[in-house]
Amino acid sequence: MTPFQEEVYRALNLIPKGRVTTYGAIASYLGTKAVRAVGTAVGKNPNAPKVPCHRVVPSTGKIGNYSGEGGVPTKIRLLKEEGIPFINGKVFDFEKYLFVFNSIDSDV
């Protein structure tokens, strides 16, 4: 377990239910520009059920990837369970469900 991972997991735990965030947002929140580093840390996913890593998606609003059990399909399923509609492998109103760190509430 690296400190960087802890930071990432902590950020993930900040994501409210029914909301999703992007690797870029996490990277920015951590103060780094390397979203890939974030992806790497999250990709490790040492504690899958402990961290809502399924609430993390690429800036494209698509599903991205998931190393958890069931893979991507499971990730989508979980998001739908959270109340996030998934269409064509993409989040419906992605920007609307998008959660930004250090932000009060971007509810429209």
Partner DNA sequence: TGCATGACCAGAC
Partner DNA sequence: CGTCTGGCCATGC
Query: What are the residues binding DNA (CB under 7 A)?
Result: 2-5, 22-24, 32-37, 39-45, 48, 53-54, 56, 58-60, 64-68, 75
**Do 19 and 106 form a contact (C-beta atoms < 8 A)?**
no
Is residue 53 annotated as a catalytic residue, yes or no? yes
- In the bound complex, what is the minimum distance in angstroms from residue 30's beta carbon to DNA? 8
Which CB sits closer to DNA, 1 or 16? 1
Q: Read off φ and ψ for residue 70, nearest 5 degrees.
A: 90, -20
- In the bound complex, what is the minimum distance in angstroms from residue 62's beta carbon to DNA? 8
